Amino acid sequence: MRYFVLALLGFLSLILESTIFNELIIAGVKPDLVLVIVILFALFNGPRQGALVGLGLGLLEDIYLAKYIGLNAISKFTIGLIVGFMEKRMYKDNFLVPVLGLFFGSLIYCAIYFIYSGMVGYPLSFGRLLKIALPMAIYNTCFAPFIYGRFYKASTKGILKA
Amino acid sequence: MTKYKVLRNVVLVLCIMGLMLGLARYTGIERTKLSPVERIIKSMVAPLESGATGVIQKAKDFFGMFAEIKELRKENALLKKKVSELNQEINHLKDYGLENIRLRNLLEYKQVHANNFKFLSAQVIARDHSNWYSTITINRGTNDGVRKDMAVVTHQGLVGRIINVTSRASEVLLILDQEGAVGGRVWETRETPGVVEGKGDTDDFLSMIHLPHDAQIEVGHTIVTSGLGGLFPPGIRIGKVIEIKEEASGLMKQATIEPFVNFSRLEEVLVILEVSDTYNIQEELREQREGASEQ
């Protein structure tokens, strides 16, 4: 059930990204909502689940975008794995956890995406990476106050509980 | 976690990575055809995207309306200001146009009479200082050579005479004033029968009084200055006869004259500084000639 909900959330995120958030572009970027879901989910569920959800939602995103299928999947798989490894070391009641997790998770994700994109032959310049990484990390972090509480509830007692 | 499990996980991760990277390399931007899965996802998403975009557009239109109203108000205020400025400019241009016509007329008059008179152009700077006198003030004075009793005219005809002079301005008593009487004669018959004076009422008409009972004067005749009294040079147009009636005694007639000068719209005038000797001689000769022919 929770995978179905996550898939639905991912689907909804993709639609929101390509519609509403096109009107809410700040500093030339829009948020990566799928990445936000993957990071938060990995923070609560560890590397295995994080990587799996990252892979699934990333693949959904790739199919949706219909180009370089696997690039988002492998990037989000990797970030899910990395953030998931932090799961045991973090005290999830602390509000700083999602804030720092989303901020640094997004920055690392951009670096990973940059590396993988080079490997699959997608011409992404380093300048473009620098232009996107920090604003996107900040934009993604801004979602922490709005969704972390619900995510926490859903992951500990609600629909996203393992 | 056993060593085997760790190794298995690492292999699994590497396999996934390899698979994904390979797939991504294979499915770059330049592809001829989408896979069935992609086509299904895209066809599922399209109506949702379309709906979301429609909602966003409506929201944008709604909120944009407020911004637009603000913008329109601003634009409206700007346009109103612009219209007012342009109207002002048009009025200025109209003024300049009218002034141009007036000045051209004055200039023509000046050129036509250049041999007879020495003129000085002046601007009317004030009018009727009190209710009791019909006067105007012009912006020329003794510094410009203006002296008391000089005649003031426009291209239309006689205006009045200078009654007070300061160094930079002069006061002109209009012929409309009862005190501004002028010796007049009928231009068509060259008779010199009467005195033209203001009627003393608020109408801008003149009266020509003391006309002999048998004076040859008709409605429509033009009245010019006679030159008698020495204040005004002879032959300057005063007005047109519009009515003739008998005086109470029954022995004399009087005529109502509509002046040629529009006194309510007087803005530029000419002061006659000098009358040439030849003009006076010509007028005298003409008088004599006409006197002889009558006899």
pLDDT tens-place values along chain B, 295 residues long: 678 888 888 898 898 888 888 888 878 766 677 788 888 877 787 788 888 888 888 888 888 888 888 889 999 999 999 999 999 999 999 988 888 888 888 888 887 787 788 889 998 888 765 566 788 889 998 999 999 999 999 988 999 999 888 888 888 989 888 777 888 888 888 766 788 888 766 567 888 888 888 888 889 999 999 888 778 888 899 999 999 888 777 788 889 999 999 888 788 899 999 888 777 676 666 666 655 555 5
- Residue B76 to chain A, least CA–CA distance (Å): 29
- Residue B70 to chain A, least CA–CA distance (Å): 21
- Does the beta-carbon distance from A64 to B45 stay under 8 Å? yes
Q: A82 and chain B: CB distance < 8 Å anywhere?
A: no
Mind listing the pLDDT tens digit for each residue in B40-81? Answer: 877 787 788 888 888 888 888 888 888 888 889 999 999 999
- Does the ipTM exceed 0.95? no
- Does the beta-carbon distance from A14 to B27 stay under 8 Å? no
CB pairs < 8 Å spanning A and B? 76
Nearest residue on chain A to B60, alpha-carbon basis:
A23
CATH of the structural domain B117-276, one choice from 2.40.10.340, 3.10.20.30, 2.40.420.20, 1.10.10.60: 2.40.10.340
- Does the beta-carbon distance from B21 to A70 stay under 8 Å? yes
Domain positions in chain B: 43-112, 117-276
Q: A67 and chain B: CB distance < 8 Å anywhere?
A: yes
Q: A66 and chain B: CB distance < 8 Å anywhere?
A: yes
User: Which among B5, B10, B16, B20 is the top mutation candidate for probing chain A, defined by the most A β-carbons within 10 Å of its own β-carbon?
Assistant: B20
- Does the beta-carbon distance from A120 to B53 stay under 8 Å? no
Supply the pLDDT for residue B248.
77
Q: Is the pTM of this model over 0.80?
A: no
B16 to chain A: which residues are within 8 Å by CB? 55, 74, 77
Instruction: List, as one string, the DSSP characters of chain B.
Output: --HHHHHHHHHHHHHHHHHHHHHHHHT-S--SS--HHHHHHHHHHHHHHHHHHHHHHHHHHHHHHHHHHHHHHHHHHHHHHHHHHHHHHHHHHHHHHHHHHHHHHHHHHHHHTTTTEEEEEEEEEEE-SSSS--EEEES--GGGT--TT-EEE-SSSEEEEEEEE-SS-EEEEETTSTT--EEEEETTT----EEEEE-SSSSS-EEEEEEETT----TT-EEEE--TTSSS-TT-EEEEEEEEEE-TTSSEEEEEEEESS-GGG--EEEEEEEE-HHHHHHHHHHHHHHHHHH-
Q: A78 and chain B: CB distance < 8 Å anywhere?
A: yes
Structural domains present in chain A: 2-156 (1.10.1760)
